Chains A and B, each alone.
Chain A
C-alpha cells in the first residue's frame, strides 16, 4: 500500500485535471483524511424506572400526595434510580476500556497527533 503512494497522487491529479475534457471529480473539500472522526449518533435508550414511578404516583393520588403513606413506594423508586444511575455510569466507563475508541476519543488523539500533510 505504501509503495503505490506516488501512484495514488498521480491518479488523483488526472481525475481532477481539465486537460482531457471534463474533470471526473470535482471535490469541494481537500482529498485528504481530516484530523477528526465523525460523531456516531448513539442509539437512544429508553426511560428507566417507569413502573416504580407510576406505582408511586398511583399511591400519591390515593393518599393526597402524603409521603408518610407512600414511604415504601418512594423507597423502591429511589433504589431503582440508584441502580439505573450505577448501570449508566458502568456502561459509560466500560466503553473506553474495550478495544474500540469512541469518536470523541479518536478525535482527541488525532488532534494531538495529526496526519502528515506533506510526504517528507
Chain B
C-alpha cells in the first residue's frame, strides 16, 4: 500500500512496478516438469480455453429472485428435495454474463457475445440496444398508422419480436458430411437445441454484416431482418428454408447415419 501511495513521488526517480511486486515473482522462479525442477520462466504456458473446471458435483446457481422468495412450506416434494440437495452440495459461482435482473435475458446476452468482434463488448451492446430502439420505433409508428381493428395484432415489444424472429429462423433438421465408399454425402440429421439457436443467430449476424449497403448501419439492417423474420419473410428465413429443402432432397441418404 505504501508503494502505491507514493507513486507520484517516485516516478521521477526511475521507480518501476517490478520493484514493488516483491514476493509475487520470486527470483528463483521456474516450472515443475516431469523430469524435475527447471530453473527459469516457464517456456510455454498451455492453458486450456474451453470447458468447465468445476467438479461435476457443483450445482448451477439459481439467479431467479422469485425462486428464493418461495416459502419452504409451499414447496412440492421434489422441489424440497432439490432445496435440501442445494444445502449440502457446493454451488458454482455466477459468471459475469449472468444476472438476476428482470431486464437481463440470456438469449440477448448470447446474441451480443456472438456479434462482438475483437472483444468490443460495449459496441456490440450499443448496436443491440439501438436495434431494439429502432424496432420499437417502427412498430409504434405502424401501430399509430393502423386502423382500430388491427391495433391489437401489432407487437410493440422488441424483446418479444427478437425471440419470435429467432424461433422462426431456427432450422428443424440439419445436414452433416458422412463419408461412404470414398464419396462424402450430405446426410439429414437432427440438431440439438443449442446448435439450432447458434445457427439462427449466426445466419442473422452474417446476413446483416455482409448483405447491406455500406452506408446502412448494422442496427438498421438488423432491425429490418428481425422484423422480416418475425413475419416469416426475409433472407434468413429463406436460408433456413433452403436448408430444409436440401435435407428433403437428400432424404434417401438418411440411412447413412449410425446414431
How many A-B residue pairs have C-beta atoms within 8 angstroms? Tell me: 46
Q: Enumerate chain A residues within 8 angstroms of B245, measured Cβ to Cβ.
A: 65
Determine how close the nearest CB of chain B comes to the CB of A63; give it in whole angstroms: 12
Q: Enumerate chain B residues within 8 angstroms of A45, measured Cβ to Cβ.
A: 258-259
Interface core residue of A50, A56, A57, A78 (most chain B CB under 10 Å): A57
Tell me the count of chain B residues lying within 8 A, CB to CB, of chain A.
18
A47 touches B172 (CB 8 A): no
Q: Enumerate chain A residues within 8 angstroms of B258, measured Cβ to Cβ.
A: 44-47
Binds A, one of B111-119, B211-219, B247-255: B247-255
Tell me the count of chain A residues lying within 8 A, CB to CB, of chain B.
22
Q: Given A46-B258, A53-B254, A67-B172 in contact, is the A81-B248 Cβ separation under 8 Å?
A: no
Question: Quick one: CB contact mask for B173-204 with A, threshold 8 Å, 1 for yes?
Answer: 10000000000000010101000000000000
Interface residues of A in 59-87 (CB under 8 A from B): 60-61, 65, 67, 74, 77-78, 81, 84-85
Say yes or no: is A102 at the interface (Cβ < 8 Å to chain B).
no
A74 touches B259 (CB 8 A): no
Determine how close the nearest CB of chain A comes to the CB of B228; give it in whole angstroms: 16
B248 touches A47 (CB 8 A): no
Q: Given A60-B248, A88-B259 in contact, is the A50-B254 Cβ separation under 8 Å?
A: yes
Say yes or no: is A54 at the interface (Cβ < 8 Å to chain B).
yes
Q: Given A65-B244, A65-B245, A81-B190 in contact, is the A53-B251 Cβ separation under 8 Å?
A: yes
Give A68's nearest chain B residue, CB to CB: B232
Q: State the CA gap A93–B184 with chains docked (Å).
A: 31
Q: Enumerate chain A residues within 8 angstroms of B259, measured Cβ to Cβ.
A: 45, 47-48, 88
Q: Enumerate chain A residues within 8 angstroms of B188, measured Cβ to Cβ.
A: 53
Say yes or no: is B110 at the interface (Cβ < 8 Å to chain A).
no
B244 touches A54 (CB 8 A): no
Say yes or no: is A49 at the interface (Cβ < 8 Å to chain B).
yes
B244 touches A47 (CB 8 A): no
Closest 4 CB pairs of A and B: A47-B257, A81-B190, A44-B258, A57-B248
Q: Which residues of A contact B (CB under 8 A)?
A: 44-50, 53-54, 56-57, 60-61, 65, 67, 74, 77-78, 81, 84-85, 88
Q: Which residues of B contact A (CB under 8 A)?
A: 168, 172-173, 188, 190, 192, 241, 244-245, 247-248, 251, 254-259
**17 other A-B residue contacts (CB within 8 Å) besides A57-B247, A78-B172:** A47-B255, A47-B258, A50-B254, A53-B188, A53-B254, A54-B251, A54-B254, A56-B172, A57-B248, A61-B248, A65-B244, A65-B248, A77-B172, A77-B173, A77-B190, A81-B190, A88-B259
29 A-B pairs within 8 Å (CB atoms) are namely A45-B259, A46-B255, A46-B258, A47-B254, A47-B255, A47-B256, A47-B258, A48-B257, A48-B259, A49-B190, A50-B254, A53-B173, A53-B190, A53-B251, A54-B251, A54-B254, A56-B172, A56-B173, A57-B247, A57-B251, A60-B244, A65-B244, A65-B248, A74-B172, A77-B172, A77-B190, A78-B172, A81-B190, A84-B190
